[in-house]
Structure 1
């Protein structure tokens, strides 16, 4: 079944930051086509955006029962598993990367899963592969910088993340947070706080810095 106009509209609503509007469109679509893997996958994406992870997981799983090799459903399920079970996510993404070797975002997600299980060299290789496919993919560059920081290569991390965090067309709160984490791990605590203060209050920055301090003791245990 081809993707319908309603699903395209719903995905645009989601990309525009209106997941609830997307959900309303998809509810109607689901009533018409309850076994459409495209509709079920989009419902998974929308529920994930709303933080309804259990519902999102069910929708992705339902889509995969109908279309087991769906790129989008597998990616959606893997991203959810990254939060709770990185090893399971890694298994999904390794299979997906073999089936879709030219999908750059799958390789980025694979890199994230490697980072989360402490396999930093494999993570960095995955990010580099993604960048060969799409040199302008900012998520690959940002996550590569963070992986360098996790593995103790601070100079490489800061050199990669500093321009991303300071250039108008690439700088986002997430990238600035990654840069602050790299600064913190490299020992530049005051600079890390200054970076965080671009997006939050002093009290909020102190909370984030505390979370950084809780991360650092175990980051290098599997180098």
Structure 2
């Protein structure tokens, strides 16, 4: 049984940390390996315990903090994940990776202004940070500042032309800005890529519907229950940030 094997994995990792002077406490890397194994086998409670132990044992280890926070997000504990990242940023205020992760967490929690400040802190020391430029664009879109968001996405694209997430965000920003023809031109080649995500396909379908091609839009999403015309109209009238899922939900 899966449950019965887990103690053996833990014991093996502990024994791997043995030295000639006896058993020693496993380091953060060992704990994270155990946590990853536990999570892959469905033992999320054990995984969180081990990720948390790794983060507590080595508070200056950026990977330990970010992996613990990511695991908390996967477990649905967004508030604690944000606390972990915020504490890590307090200890290492200049760490760009932590600032980006905390910025993304703030975006997820709807604090676009705080996220924007974090991304700007990264860009103040690294103007070529694609994750910070992309995150900055999302924050600006959430604040309704679409032309500024598009400029940020285009800067990111100039640095990483193949980044599908950046181009997808640019296309959505153009939709929000009431420019569906331009959005369609950006999203069409993305939707035809082998690595296109469901979100890319949905955004392209919205662009098609917004430009009067509802039949083509419907063919992109198959039988998904999405009111494409209604979504496109909401974008045109309200310019709200809308994320479409296969069930037609929004967040």
The alignment's TM-score, normalised by the length of structure 2, stands at 0.70
Question: CA separation in 1, counterparts of 2:235 and 2:43?
Answer: 31
On the 8 A contact 1:44/1:76 being kept in 2, the answer is no
Q: 1 or 2 for the larger relative contact order (CA 8 Å, sep ≥6)?
A: 1
2:80 is the alignment partner of 1:55: yes
On the 8 A contact 2:106/2:115 being kept in 1, the answer is yes
Report the secondary structure of 1:205's partner residue.
Answer: coil
Equivalent residues in 2 for 1:17-166, closer than 5 Å: 20=44, 23=48, 25-33=50-58, 35-38=59-62, 39-83=64-108, 84-166=110-192
Change (3 A) 1:55 1:184: farther
> How far apart are residue 211 of structure 1 and its match?
5.5
Count of aligned residue pairs for this structure pair: 208
> How far apart are residue 30 of structure 1 and its match?
3.1
Report the secondary structure of 1:57's partner residue.
Answer: helix
> How far apart are residue 78 of structure 1 and its match?
1.4
Q: Point out where structure 1 has 5 or more consecutive residues left out of the alignment.
A: none
User: Aligned-pair RMSD on alpha carbons?
Assistant: 3.0
Task: Specify which structure has the higher proportion of helix.
Answer: 1
> How far apart are residue 37 of structure 1 and its match?
4.5
Question: CA separation in 2, counterparts of 1:191 and 1:118?
Answer: 29
Question: CA separation in 2, counterparts of 1:175 and 1:67?
Answer: 35
On the 8 A contact 1:37/1:66 being kept in 2, the answer is no
Question: CA separation in 2, counterparts of 1:11 and 1:128?
Answer: 38
Looking at CA atoms only, which structure, 1 or 2, has the larger radius of gyration?
2
Structure 1 equivalent of residue 219 of structure 2:
194
The alignment's TM-score, normalised by the length of structure 1, stands at 0.78
Q: Point out where structure 2 has 5 or more consecutive residues left out of the alignment.
A: 1-26, 241-251
Larger mean CA deviation between 209-218 and 172-181 belongs to: 209-218
Question: CA separation in 2, counterparts of 1:11 and 1:177?
Answer: 34
Change (3 A) 1:90 1:30: closer
